Structure 1
Amino acid sequence: MTNLVRTAFLVLALLYVMPVQALAEDNNKDYGDIDVIAKLGDRYYIEFEPLPKLYLPRILIADGIHFFGSTKSAMQSGLFQDAYYIENPQEFVAGVSGPVTYRLVQANGDPVTLDLSISKHVVWFWLAGFLTLFIFGRMAKKYEAGIGRETAPRGAGMNFAEVIIVYLRDEVVKSNIGEEKYKKFAPYLLSCFFMILFMNLFGLAPWGQTPTSDISVTAALALTTFFMVNLNGTKDYWKHVFAMPGIPKFMLIIMIPVEILGLFTKPFALAVRLFANMLSGKMLILSMLGMIFIFAGLYGAGLGLVSAFLWVPFTLFIYALKVFAAFLQAYIFTMFSALFIGMALEDHSHHDEHHHAETAAAH
């Protein structure tokens, strides 16, 4: 086991140090700025360095729907242009210039009505959904055949998944929603957990991306929970929003806006918490690796290469924390979603009656 860990460490270290070997070729080379934000941002291509980029289709709505295989083909059509060349027309050379910002506008400079293009975060989001359907679809067939239901689960993967599923069902879904109603929401909450987990882990793979570091992805997930909560809210739930019992009537002028605001702050907190945690972890990793190039630019390629033996172990340590954070953030999103759903389904009048009965019995 020790040899395996040591070998894995050396392989990862080599993967990170390999780009620095080029620094030894020219100590006076200008390494330029390290744009961490650009690395984390969404793009209309997928990078497989040192292999060529995989360009993604562009779908644009402007005087009709237009489909293109890539950004460059959209520019070559003459209908659309990269916004960079609209602002800097002197730098555009017909048939030669490629995309710069990948933000397309119409050839006359007008913005497109709607950009439905497929981006790299969308691709990785779809991949997470496909993995969830594929893995747990196969597990469902095994359960239907009696494996894991009438007999013990088979295989390490099935055993590991069952431990997580049973824990989430009993300690998260059932405990927050209740014994009677949890089955309706368990599929959604379990799907949330595993999709978010896969998306969080994708960023740790070579060439991988973390879709949950994109606020639009986490906002879509939080919005789904928002509709799940409010479309299933009971009359008692809405009564506590618009006519909270037990407070003076004049206080409703203050309480109703506060309660309505609370409906939106919950999904907002869900989206921002997941987004900020996953983005900051990725940013920290890229910043640490960037220190190698900063040292090389300031003190020469030799010292930059030597400093890699400090920054690479730090990066591997952060990677280990990110694996833990991937599970933790998926758990937190699922737990709070279950909590909000349970609050919307809670029958407050039943608890009030139970409380009054206990008080009367005590007297």
Structure 2
Amino acid sequence: MNRVIMVRLIAVVVLMLLFWLALRKPKVVPSRGQSIIELAVGYVRDEIVYDMLGERIGKKYLPYILTLFFGILFMNLTTAIPFLNISGNGLLGMPLVLALTTYVVFIYAGFREAGGLTFLRNALFPAGVPWPLYILLTPIELVNTFLVRPVSLALRLMLNLMVGHLLLVITFSATAFFVGLMNLWSVMGVFTLAGSFIMTLMELLVSVLQAYVFSLLTTSYIQLSVAKSH
């Protein structure tokens, strides 16, 4: 158990608690908490999953995409919460687990929905390409589909949150440094404090965007896998 593991556990517990409190007694006329949760779930369902996969296939993978979106979001938001001050996705472990899980899901979806041969043919031998080009194209598609996708998912999520965390550390540390000088340079602390506030808002925006991007890319990979033809 270390600080990052603790932050991840706290984020998951808070996420589960909020959903339980909002949905434990659902009503036809929803409460404020139920409305917020339903709007968030409805957005992910309609604008990401059903829009790309359709309702029939989308229903099968909706629970996973929702878990991804809200899990990543809550672990990202901890970077701006006092006394936590680090994202659960700011180190490689969790992004790698999420990326590898997505890797398994989109391969499973391809074999289940399109059939193994169709999935591999679409992934490695794109239609409409002159056959001699497959000598060059197929190895590239092999690396892209089965290596680049999970690696890029993990690195994109981790690096965005790690860089944001470092920027917050720099701005807040600079504020403490200048204020501690107790001389004319202390005025600089006002500017670095303003920078800290702006970077915190930016980090909150990045936290939401990265949850959206990861979920959107996962859905697009599933869509490519289940297609009967490309």
TM over 0.5: yes
Q: Aligned partners of 2:64, 2:123: CA distance in 1, in Å? A: 25
Aligned to 1:115: none
The answer to whether the 8 A contact 1:295-1:303 is kept is: no
Q: Which has the higher contact order (CA 8 A, sep 6+)?
A: 2
Moved over 4 A (4+): 293-297
Partner residue of 2:123 out of 241, 247, 251 = 241
1:279-318 to 2 correspondence within 5 Å?
279-295=162-178, 300-318=181-199
Q: What is the one-letter code of the residue matched to 1:220?
A: V
Query: Which position in structure 1 is the counterpart of 2:92?
Result: 215
Partners of 1:315 and 1:129 in 2: CA distance: 27
Q: Which sits farther off after the overlay, 221-230 or 252-261?
A: 252-261
| Kept in 1: contact 2:95–2:158 (CA 8 A) | yes
Contact kept, 8 Å, 2:49 with 2:219, in 1: the verdict is: yes
**Residues 228-279 of structure 1, C-alpha deviation per residue, up to 9 Å, x if partnerless?**
1112112322112344443333322222211111112122222122112111
Amino acid across the alignment from 1:333: F
| Offset, 1:296 | 6.6
Mapped to 2, the partners of 1:249 and 1:217 lie a distance apart of 40
Aligned-partner Cα distance in 1 for 2:140–2:158 = 25
CA-based RMSD of the aligned residues comes to 2.1
**Structure 1 length as normaliser, TM-score?**
0.57
- Contact 1:291/1:311 (<8 A) preserved: yes
Identity among equivalent pairs (%): 25
**Aligned equivalent of 1:229, options 99, 106, 112:** 106
- Work out the CA distance in 1 between the residues paired with 2:182 and 2:25: 56
For structure 1, which runs of at least 5 residues remain unmatched after alignment? 1-117, 350-363
Question: How many residues are aligned here?
Answer: 223
Q: Which residue of the other structure, out of 317, 341, 354, is the alignment partner of 2:222?
A: 341
Q: Secondary structure at the match of 1:213?
A: coil
1:184 aligns to 2:60 (yes or no) = yes
What per-residue deviation string (whole Å, max 9, x for no partner) do you get for residues 200-229 of structure 1?
Answer: 111111111211111222111111111111
Are residue 165 (structure 1) and residue 41 (structure 2) matched? Answer: yes
| Structure ranking higher in helix proportion | 2
Question: Are 1:250 and 2:132 counterparts?
Answer: yes
**Between Structure 1 and Structure 2, which shows a larger proportion of strand residues?**
1
Paired AA for residue 348 in structure 1? S
Partners of 1:124 and 1:130 lie apart in 2 by 10
The alignment partner of 2:162 has SS state of helix
